[in-house]
Amino acid sequence: MALLEFVLILLLHAEAGVSGGIIDLYNKPGDEVVLPCDIKPSSSSCSNVHWFYSRDERRAAEEEVKEGNVDENSARAARLSVNSNCSLVINNITDEDVGHYICGYWKSFDSDSYVFLNILTVSPSPPDADLQKDEVTLTCSLWRYSNINPCKQSSFRWLDDEGTELQDESVDFYVRQTNCVSNLTVKHQRDDNRRFTCQFVEGNSVKIEAHYTPDSTGSQNPEIQQTIIIIIMWTLRITGLILLIGITVVVIRGGRKKQLKDSKVSKN
């Protein structure tokens, strides 16, 4: 019953909101993130620390860390750990890690620490598009706890490889933003290695940015790739034939020299 009461109190805190002790973290997929437990421990160890996680308000909070130890039954147990500061460490984060985290000490509900983990991603559509021939849409998404107000219209910025902001009225680019997603349509480009940057801005401050550079190797014409493969194969065959001829000549010459030497020996 004590654990149930603890969970209910944490949920009430999350629904009512708090005025302090809130931390927003912004990261990208694959990062290692440290979620600080911004309260003083009741002892020198983390034996009394508990970490709870909620992806959105429709799901019940899950206890990921109990008395300083990661719950081995958690689907993320292999990527979770608790450091000496009682902070929760998550390795190789994905959008599945986005959400609301609460760190608290047993029977100390008034001093809980609240952490919101946000992740920014940039992905092309279609994934294998050729910028030299196709029109590509880059999607920049900020994944975050769903119980937060939607992003403002000016929350995203798109920059080119020179750091120049791309505007809606640009002929070659079109930006469309809904909630926490912004799309950039990139039309035919001569340079398929051009880099684009998506920034998430809040309060005139860039919280995080993600880059996208098209893979030039993946956009190569299939006929050209096939021609290159054929040339390489023929080059290997010719090289092998030359080596075989060279070895044969050496063997023949060596045999002739041996015959001449044997004949001289027999005459003597």
Angle subtended at Cα 32 by Cα 128 and Cα 196, rounded to the nearest 5 degrees: 35
Q: Residue ranges of the domains in the chain?
A: 2-119, 126-212
Domains 2-119 and 126-212 share a fold: yes
Identify the bridge partners of residue 27 per DSSP, sorted by sequence position. 119
Residue 39: partners with Cβ closer than 8 Å, 6 or more residues away: 21, 103, 104, 105, 108, 111, 112, 113
DSSP state of 208: E
Pick the CATH number of 2-119 from 3.30.930.10, 3.40.50.1820, 2.60.40.10, 3.30.70.260: 2.60.40.10
- How far is it, in rounded angstroms, from Cα 143 to Cα 14? 18
Percent of the residues in the chain that have a pLDDT greater than 70, as a whole number: 63
- How far is it, in rounded angstroms, from Cα 35 to Cα 117? 8
- How far is it, in rounded angstroms, from Cα 229 to Cα 177? 43
Q: Which CATH architecture has domain 126-212?
A: Sandwich (2.60)
Higher pLDDT, 12 or 255: 255
pLDDT digits (tens, 9 = 90+) for 230-251: 666 667 777 777 877 877 766 6
pLDDT digits (tens, 9 = 90+) for 151-198: 887 889 999 888 888 876 553 566 667 678 888 887 766 655 678 899
Could you tell me the pTM of the whole model?
A: 0.67
pLDDT of residue 193: 61
pLDDT digits (tens, 9 = 90+) for 104-139: 876 555 556 789 999 999 988 777 766 666 678 889
